[in-house]
């Protein structure tokens, strides 16, 4: 999978690139609007992650240009502007998803996966993780062909864990992904603990191996490797 990352902040660019490379993507980076536009024009990418405020232009223009060229690449806009109107402008211009800074890398990964799934498999693809099969467009989960009933939040939690498999997910990253803005109100860690416990119970009741490992004080790891 080829990703073009257009971000002018060197620190953030490096961190994102490292993370995504660790996820197995091929990452090309661009620092400026001009560089990014050239690369996006010259090569094909599966997904383009673009910052809106670039030193020599607005990322939105790039989004519009790509849409005009009928590019098949998925586009995720990353920006510090979080007003609703800004988001709507971005999505109207043709972006597939929108992420506001600061974001968790795992969150970016989950959004990338979701965009790629929609782009490459028409949303029909299943996600396989060990003995679990997920149908992201139907919110369906099964273990060895037997469906498990999960609540919406439990499903999102599981998908997020699977998307970032083999990586340590901090509690705040999970909480923000699954519950969004509402989460910072509650004593999030305890709340999350209850939900993970429920999810685990349901999976294990369907005789699925315990893939979710707890790193005490840090977060959770979804791993299909047998310990």
Partner 1 sequence: MSLLSQTARYLLLTAFIIALAGAVGFYTLIHRKIRYEVDEILTSQAEQAIHRLQTQPVTVLSNWDDNPHIERVLAAKQPEFTDIMLADSLTNNRPEPIRQLSTTTLVNGQMYQITVRLPYHEFNELSREMSLGVIIGFLILMALSVGVGLGLARRLWRPFYTTIDQLGSFQLDQPTDPGFPQSRIREFGLLNQSLRELTQKVRRQFSLQKQFTENASHELQTPLAVASAELELLMQSEQLTETDHAHLQRATDALSRLSQMNRSLLLLTQVENDQFSGADLLDLSALVCQYTDEYRPFFEHKQMQFSASIAPNVYQRMNRQLAGVLLTNLLKNAVRHGLPGGSITIDLLSNALIISNTGRPLPFAESQLFTRFVKDPARPDSTGLGLALVKQICDRYSLPIGYTYDSAAEKHSFQIGLR
58-87 binders of partner 1 (CB under 8 A) = 79-84
Determine, following the binding rule CB under 8 A, whether residue 102 of this chain makes contact with partner 1.
Answer: yes
Give the three-class secondary structure for 18.
helix
Stretch touching partner 1 by CB under 8 A, among 17-25, 41-49, 118-126, 130-138: 17-25
Give the residue with the Cβ less far from partner 1, 39 or 87. 87
> C-beta of 209: minimal distance to partner 1 in Å?
22
Strand partners, 140: 135
Q: Using CB under 8 A, pick the residue from 42, 185, 201, 227 that binds partner 1.
A: 185
Rule CB under 8 A: say whether 88 interacts with partner 1: no
Q: How far is the CB of 166 from partner 1 (least distance, A)?
A: 9
In 3D space, the residue among 167, 175, 164, 161 whose CA is nearest the CA of residue 203 turns out to be: 161
Select 82 or 147, whichever has its Cβ closest to partner 1. Answer: 82
Could you tell me which of 77, 81, 83, 109 has the C-alpha nearest to residue 95? 77
Q: Quick one: which segment of 61-69, 103-111, 125-133, 200-208 binds partner 1 (CB under 8 A)? A: 103-111
Q: For 122-220, where are the alpha helices, taking DSSP H only? A: 152-163, 171-179, 188-205
Q: How far apart are CA 197 and CA 177, in angstroms?
A: 18
Look at phi and psi of residue 132 and say left if phi exceeds 0, alpha if psi is from -120 to 50, else beta: beta
Phi first, then psi, for residue 11 (nearest 5°) are -60, -50
Angle at 11 between CA 10 and CA 13, to 5 degrees: 65
Stretch of 55-63, 136-144, 183-191, 199-207 contacting partner 1, by CB under 8 A:
183-191
Of 184 and 210, the one with the shorter C-beta distance to partner 1 is: 184
Is 197 among the residues that bind partner 1 (CB under 8 A)? no
Q: Count CB atoms within 10 A of the CB of residue 18.
A: 12
Q: Which is nearer to partner 1, 16 or 159 (CB)?
A: 16
225 makes contact with partner 1 (CB under 8 A): no
- Judge whether 44 and 73 are in contact, CB under 8 Å: yes
Q: In this complex, which beta carbon is closest to partner 1, that of residue 60 or of residue 143?
A: 60
- In whole angstroms, how large is the CA radius of gyration of the chain? 18
Cα–Cα distance measured from residue 60 to residue 8, given in angstroms and rounded to the nearest whole number? 15
Span of 66-74, 124-132, 167-175, 205-213 interacting with partner 1 by CB under 8 A = 167-175
Q: Which positions lie near partner 1, rule CB under 8 A?
A: 9, 11-12, 15-16, 18-19, 22, 53, 79-84, 100-106, 153, 167-168, 170-173, 176, 181-182, 184-186, 190-191, 194, 215-219
């Amino acid at each position: 999978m080829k990703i073009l990352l257009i971000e002018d902040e060197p620190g953030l660019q490096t961190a994102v690139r490292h993370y995504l490379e660790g996820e197995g993507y091929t990452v090309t980076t661009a620092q400026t609007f001009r560089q990014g536009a050239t690369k996006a024009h010259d090569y094909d990418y599966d997904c383009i992650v673009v910052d809106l405020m670039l030193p020599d232009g607005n990322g939105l223009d790039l989004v519009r240009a790509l849409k005009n060229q009928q590019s098949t690449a998925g586009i995720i806009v990353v920006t510090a502007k979080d007003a609703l109107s800004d988001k709507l402008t971005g999505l109207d211009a043709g972006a597939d998803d929108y992420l506001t800074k600061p974001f968790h890398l795992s969150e970016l990964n989950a959004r990338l996966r979701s965009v790629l799934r929609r782009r490459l498999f028409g949303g029909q693809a299943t996600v396989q993780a060990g003995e679990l099969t997920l149908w992201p467009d139907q919110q369906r989960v099964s273990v060895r062909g037997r469906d498990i009933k999960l609540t919406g939040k439990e499903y999102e939690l599981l998908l997020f864990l699977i998307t970032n498999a083999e990586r340590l997910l901090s509690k705040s990253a999970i909480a923000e992904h699954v519950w969004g803005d509402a989460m910072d109100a509650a004593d999030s860690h305890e709340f999350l603990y209850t939900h993970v416990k429920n999810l685990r119970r349901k999976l294990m009741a369907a005789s699925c191996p315990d893939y979710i490992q707890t790193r005490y004080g840090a977060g959770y790891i979804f791993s299909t490797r047998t310990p």
